[in-house]
Amino acid sequence: MTIPAPIEAKLFDKILIANRGEIALRIQRACREMGIKTVAVHSTADATSMHVRLADESVCIGPPSGRDSYLKMPALISAADITGAGAIHPGVGFLSENAAFASMVEEHGITFIGPTPAHITMMGDKITAKKTMIDLGIPVVPGSDGGVDTDDQAIELGNTIGYPLLIKATSGGGGKGMKVANSAEELPSALRLARAEAKANFGNDQVYMERYLRKPRHIEVQILADSYGNVVHLGERDCSIQRRHQKIWEEAPSPGLTPEKRAELGKIVTKAIRKMGYRGVGTLEFLYEDGEFFFMEMNTRLQVEHPITEMVTGIDLVKEQIRVAAGFPLSFRQEDIKFTGHAIECRINAEHHETFIPSPGEITGYHTPGGWGVRVDSHLYQGYHVPPHYDSLVAKLIVYGDTREECLKRVERALREYVIDGIDTILPLHRILAEDPDIQRGDYDIHWLEKKLK
Ligand code: ADP
């Protein structure tokens, strides 16, 4: 049952988007269609970026380095203050899962478009997140109950968890701080490496251990919740095609899940989220092996791959996220969500398709694919300089088809049409993937791409 909002909710007049690139543009598009004005922020390196050009207003917040611009909390708050923005959308990456930022925004009387700082904190620490999920009845990957401090403790635990095992950073993200140990002998050095990487990337060297699954799929569930206890799930995404634990190609629905398993997963997830009292969009990530789901982590923000869910549900996740943040109840129930067709997203990174060396530089020629069922989320344009300072993702090709077969054919032809000249991209890799027999059969796991690349 949908519970109505207790007060007359009102949409924001103006939103500041604390991000850059394709995701800033994506959020801007939703705002424009909702009649909400947008404020872009940018570093000096992004002054001519498309998200700045298309915004209603823009504020320069610092020099190129992310630390001095997109991660600079006071600069962002000041920019919102000066422009009179009533809300801040953090996008993905940067400050999107930073509880201190969410609190600071709210303390300044600005709405943070996201969950409460308490929920961000709870899920940001992966050990706490796993413990919370166990309490909520969600199965997790077997492993250490908490942090692992000494080599002796690790070796003792290793005997119970079994090998190979995976060492992960408590505050990890983006696949960083993860190391596999195949035996007790390898454990001390793997621990050392994981700790050093965790310290360098997240300023926290605490690590924990998990059983390393040999052929799982990465299956994640999109949820959406309002402030009145209404929770829905929008199905799953299969993000098993990864390189260095980073997603490259995503599909909705997963070619490896039966309708029964799908229903089971949706049910346990919505129940847990309702119990948590969570608000906003969120994603629960699982590994799926031999018919069993194991929770890995929850992302308390929008995901890069959210468009494929939008394509198969017809629901604009960013608009819903903004409505919920403004205090509106969900306008639909679980039964109203109809899943149709199939969608695939190819992440186009500015990297060489074999060496994966980043390739910043000027776009000398640009032509995007089009036609039925093709969506391109990108900030690229001819003459644009891809700066060297940020994430290498420069475009997302999102394709819809009535069936998976049709979708794959359409991906293939869209990739054929896509021209990005002047820099290296992984478009050639995607062209190979689209024609691969294993992918065509939907027969792959999280280790598939790494093996293929070898
Ligand atoms: P991050 O937050 O750094 O992205 P995740 O916990 O989401 O870390 O894991 C990223 C990826 O690493 C997963 O999608 C999966 O491919 C791999 N992975 C994580 N945990 C395990 C595990 N226990 N066994 C095998 N692979 C794993």
Q: Give the mutation target among 244, 292, 296, 298 for probing the ligand 1 site: most ligand atoms within 8 A of CB.
A: 296
pLDDT confidence band for 1 (50 / 70 / 90): very low
Q: For residues 218 and 174, is the Cβ–Cβ distance under 8 A?
A: no
Q: Does 333 participate in catalysis according to the annotation?
A: no
Instruction: For residue range 356-408, list pLDDT tens digits in order.
Output: 999 999 999 999 999 999 999 999 999 999 999 999 999 999 999 999 999 99
Going from the Cα of 286 to the center of ligand 1, the distance in angstroms, rounded, reads 9
pLDDT value at 6 more than 90: no
pLDDT value at 79 more than 60: yes
Q: CA–CA distance from 200 to each of 126, 190, 275, 389 (Å)?
A: 18, 15, 35, 18
- What is the DSSP track for 265-290? HHHHHHHHHHHHT--EEEEEEEEEET
Ligand 1 atom 13: residue of nearest CA: 245
pLDDT confidence band for 4 (50 / 70 / 90): low
Q: What is the dihedral of CA 228, 114, 197, 65, to 10 degrees?
A: 180
Average of per-residue pLDDT across 77-101: 97
Average of per-residue pLDDT across 40-68: 98
Q: What pTM was computed for the model?
A: 0.95
Q: Exposed, middle or buried by CB within 10 Å (0-12, 13-18, 19+), for 355?
A: exposed
**Maximum distance among all Cα pairs of the chain, rounded to whole angstroms:** 63
Predicted confidence at residue 176, as pLDDT, reads 85
The CATH architecture that domain 142-211 belongs to is: 2-Layer Sandwich (3.30)
Instruction: For residue range 287-319, list pLDDT tens digits in order.
Output: 999 999 999 999 999 999 999 999 999 999 999
pLDDT confidence band for 346 (50 / 70 / 90): very high
The CATH architecture that domain 14-113 belongs to is: 3-Layer(aba) Sandwich (3.40)
Intrachain domains 142-211 and 217-453 with the same fold: no
Q: For residues 242 and 258, is the Cβ–Cβ distance under 8 A?
A: no
E strands along 226-355, which residues?
231-243, 246-252, 280-289, 292-299, 342-349
Angle (CA) 73-175-375 rounded to 5° is 75
20: Cα separation from own chain's centroid: 15
Angle (CA) 420-318-331 rounded to 5° is 145
pLDDT value at 7 more than 80: no
Ligand 1 atom 17: residue of nearest CA: 245
Average of per-residue pLDDT across 51-76: 98
The CATH architecture that domain 217-453 belongs to is: 2-Layer Sandwich (3.30)
Average of per-residue pLDDT across 225-243: 97
| Ligand 1 nearest-atom number relative to CA 447 | 16
Within a 10 A sphere around the Cβ of 454, how many other Cβ atoms? Answer: 5
Closest to 159 in 3D by CA, of 209, 195, 205, 207: 209
Mean of the per-residue pLDDT values for the chain? Answer: 96
Going from the Cα of 165 to the center of ligand 1, the distance in angstroms, rounded, reads 12
Predicted confidence at residue 56, as pLDDT, reads 98
Ligand 1 residue neighbourhood (C-beta within 6 Å): 141, 166, 172-176, 210-213, 218, 242, 245, 285, 287, 296-297, 446
Average of per-residue pLDDT across 97-123: 98
Domain boundaries, the chain: 14-113, 142-211, 217-453
Ligand 1 atom 9: residue of nearest CA: 175
pLDDT value at 174 more than 80: no
Going from the Cα of 176 to the center of ligand 1, the distance in angstroms, rounded, reads 10
- Active-site pick, 237, 301, 347, 375: 301
Average of per-residue pLDDT across 128-145: 94
Going from the Cα of 408 to the center of ligand 1, the distance in angstroms, rounded, reads 26
Q: What is the dihedral of CA 148, 153, 156, 157, to 10 degrees?
A: -10
pLDDT value at 75 more than 60: yes
Q: Exposed, middle or buried by CB within 10 Å (0-12, 13-18, 19+), for 229?
A: middle
Q: CA–CA distance from 69 to each of 53, 55, 337, 371 (Å)?
A: 18, 18, 39, 37
Going from the Cα of 393 to the center of ligand 1, the distance in angstroms, rounded, reads 20
Average of per-residue pLDDT across 84-101: 97
